């Protein structure tokens, strides 16, 4: 079987995302929008918020407790050819063939390290571009589904949605492929098994996959040219189409805002779970005022603008806030900061807890007094975790919440205080890990009881531990078994 080396990621500095996700895309993560493999107009986010206050009918609230125990790339990459380069076929063994040092040197790269990963029967080789610092990871194995992903660090400075609008816009024509929407043409004519782009709070990913080698390298070539030489930075109409523009259908009606990203974010900002997540994570989502629309009840300290990430890029919305997106101008869009100059500052841990209460649109159905949502959130570390600690927290998260018999999950659901779990447990996809847990559809009188139940259960687990047959419990879960190449393996390794 012919097998080309798998190019996993190209990031503009060595400080880019450095963890693999050995799980399906968008795992049991909190506050995520759904994933559609062939729909480019998907924005994968951890958190979102509401937009239309007119949807409010009553006092349903979110109760959160927070603690902390131009793309001006051309000048940087003009010497880096966007053309895909095939590599030799690669068997699945430690002696697997790899990109030769001669080829790497010719393209301006140097080999940094290589390793055989027995768990997924793959040979991994890390290269670094000498001039720009861009990193390329080549992972070779027997998987016939060839996957490529190019990843840029794109931490935002505000909630105008520049990373998200760029994600859409760069796939609307490039120097080599000056079509209106090459992405749509690829969907119609390619043999791809995956074709998409994703905006995270701190990075943007462009993954493609195909089992056909020629088709695979064609997809790679299109994506390379799109991200390095996009037409969108010179096309105001693309900015209006993908970002925002004014629309007036009838002179007697009010002028409205439209745009692909603007409309998409209006939708995700109307989902209660996303509102809860945004209130927990983003400081700027909480805007004080005397209009009665947002209410903040503070605990132990007197400040009104705190969330888990009040001081860094995670405190704003990379996807764009519909109230802020129309403030973005085309000139600002063109002058976006190169990703190799972008970093995410570490968030300092809190010295004491914070309580936040915010309203959300609960709708008309059911008892409005029983639609409260309560969630406790912890920022776990002021720096990225080492692999051993991250693995340990994964086990702990699974023990507490991973199955119907898990103690924290079982106690919360059987308490009768709410109908479903919110929060999702450990979230380690950002620079600093966090833990969130709570209940939805809680009576207003029971909100404090939920908080007390969570704290009491965690203290009991810390003092008494888990049941004795823990080894059987863990071994029965397939996610802890060795991984073998599958048609989703390459996608699961993307950062």
Residues noted as catalytic = 167, 242
Q: Which residues contact residue 165 at a Cβ distance below 8 angstroms, ignoring those fewer than 6 apart?
A: 239, 242, 243, 261, 320, 325, 328, 333
How does DSSP assign 277-326, residue by residue? HHHHHBGGG----SSSSS-----SS--SS--SBSSSGGGS-TT--TTTGG
Backbone φ, ψ for residue 178 (5° rounding): -80, 40
> What burial class does residue 26 get, using C-beta atoms within 10 Å of its C-beta: 0-12 exposed, 13-18 middle, 19+ buried?
middle
| Separation CA 274–CA 269 (nearest Å) | 7
| Separation CA 47–CA 32 (nearest Å) | 7
Contact predicate 290/298, CB 8 Å: no
Question: Following CA atoms 161, 163, 168, 170 in sequence, which dihedral angle do they give, to the nearest 10 degrees?
Answer: 140
Contact predicate 129/108, CB 8 Å: yes
> Counting every residue, how long is the chain?
495
| Separation CA 428–CA 416 (nearest Å) | 30
| Separation CA 126–CA 148 (nearest Å) | 14
| Separation CA 205–CA 490 (nearest Å) | 14
> What burial class does residue 476 get, using C-beta atoms within 10 Å of its C-beta: 0-12 exposed, 13-18 middle, 19+ buried?
exposed
Token duo for residue 395: 């086990």
């Amino acid at each position: 079987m012919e097998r080309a080396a798998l190019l996993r990621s190209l990031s503009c500095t060595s400080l880019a995302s450095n963890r693999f996700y050995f799980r399906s895309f968008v795992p049991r993560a909190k506050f995520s929008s759904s994933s559609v493999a062939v729909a480019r107009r998907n924005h994968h986010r951890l958190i979102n918020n509401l937009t239309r206050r007119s949807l409010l009918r009553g006092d349903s609230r979110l109760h959160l407790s927070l603690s902390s125990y131009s793309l001006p790339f051309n000048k940087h990459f003009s010497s880096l050819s966007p053309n895909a380069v095939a590599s030799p076929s690669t068997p699945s063994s430690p002696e697997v063939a790899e990109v030769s040092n001669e080829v790497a040197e010719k393209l301006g790269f140097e080999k940094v390290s290589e390793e055989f990963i027995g768990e997924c029967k793959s040979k991994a080789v890390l290269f670094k571009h000498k001039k720009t610092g861009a990193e390329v990871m080549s992972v070779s194995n027997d998987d016939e589904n060839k996957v490529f992903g190019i990843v840029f660090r794109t931490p935002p400075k505000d909630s105008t949605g520049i990373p998200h609008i760029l994600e859409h816009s760069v796939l609307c024509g490039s120097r080599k492929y000056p079509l209106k929407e090459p992405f749509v043409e690829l969907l119609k004519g390619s043999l791809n098994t995956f074709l998409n782009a994703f905006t995270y709070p701190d990075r943007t990913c462009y993954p493609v996959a195909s089992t056909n080698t020629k088709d695979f390298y064609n997809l790679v070539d299109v994506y390379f040219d799109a991200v390095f030489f996009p037409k969108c930075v010179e096309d105001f109409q693309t900015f209006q189409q993908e970002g925002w523009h004014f629309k007036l259908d009838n002179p007697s009606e009010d002028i409205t805002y439209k745009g692909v990203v603007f409309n998409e974010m209006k939708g995700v900002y109307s989902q209660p779970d996303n509102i809860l997540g945004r209130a927990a994570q983003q400081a700027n989502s909480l805007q004080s005022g005397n209009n009665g629309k947002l209410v903040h009840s503070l605990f132990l300290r007197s400040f009104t603008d705190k969330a888990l990430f009040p001081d860094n890029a995670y405190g704003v919305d990379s996807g764009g806030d519909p109230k802020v997106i129309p403030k973005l101008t085309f000139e600002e869009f063109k002058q976006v900061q190169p990703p190799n100059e972008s970093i995410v500052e570490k968030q300092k841990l809190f010295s004491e807890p914070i309580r936040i209460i915010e309203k959300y649109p609960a709708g008309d159905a059911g008892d409005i007094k029983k639609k409260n949502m309560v969630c406790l959130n912890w920022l776990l570390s002021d720096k990225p975790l080492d692999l051993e600690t991250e693995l340990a927290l994964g086990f702990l998260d699974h023990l507490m919440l991973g199955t119907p018999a898990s103690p924290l999950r079982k106690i919360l659901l059987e308490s009768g205080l709410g109908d479903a779990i919110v929060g999702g447990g450990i979230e380690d996809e950002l620079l600093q890990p966090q833990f969130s847990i709570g209940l939805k559809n809680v009576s207003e009188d029971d909100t404090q009881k939920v908080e007390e139940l969570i704290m009491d259960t965690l203290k009991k687990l810390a003092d008494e531990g888990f049941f004795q047959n823990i080894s059987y419990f863990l071994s029965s879960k397939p996610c802890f078994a060795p991984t073998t190449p599958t048609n989703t393996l390459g996608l699961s390794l993307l950062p």
